[in-house]
Amino acid sequence: MTISGKTRICGIIGDPIEHSLSPIMHNAAFEASGLDYTYLAFKVKPAGIANAVEGMRALNIRGLNVTMPHKNTVMANLDRIDLSAQIINSVNTILNKENLLLGFNTDGIGAVKALKENGAELKGRKVLLLGSGGAARAIAHSVVKEADELAVLNRTVKHAQALAKLLERSVNKKIAVGSLSPSDIQQNLQDSDILINATSIGMKPHPDISPIPPKLLRSNLSVMDIVYNPLETKLSKDAKNAGAKIISGVEMLIYQGAVAFEIWTGKTAPVEIMRQTIFSHLQRKAQGN
Which active-site residues does the annotation give?
Answer: 71
Pairing of strands 80-81, 100-104: parallel
d(CA 213, CA 19): 29
Question: Which are the contacts of 171, defined by CB distance < 8 A and separation ≥ 6?
Answer: 144, 145
Work out whether the CA dihedral 158, 170, 149, 212 comes out positive or negative.
Answer: negative
**Contact of 280 with 273, CB cutoff 8 Å:** no
* DSSP-assigned letters across all residues of 73-100: GGGGG-SEE-HHHHHHT---EEEEETTE
User: Which contacts qualify for 230-237: CB closer than 8 Å, 24 or more apart?
Assistant: 230/204, 230/286, 231/282, 231/283, 231/286, 233/197, 233/202, 233/203, 233/207, 234/202, 234/207, 234/208, 234/209, 234/210, 235/197, 235/201, 235/202, 235/210, 235/211
- E strand or H helix that includes residue 66: strand 63-66
In sequence order, which residues have a C-beta less than 8 Å from that of residue 58 and are 6 or more positions away? Answer: none
Q: Is the peptide bond before 213 cis (omega within 30 degrees of 0)?
A: no
Provide the 3-class DSSP secondary structure of residue 263.
helix
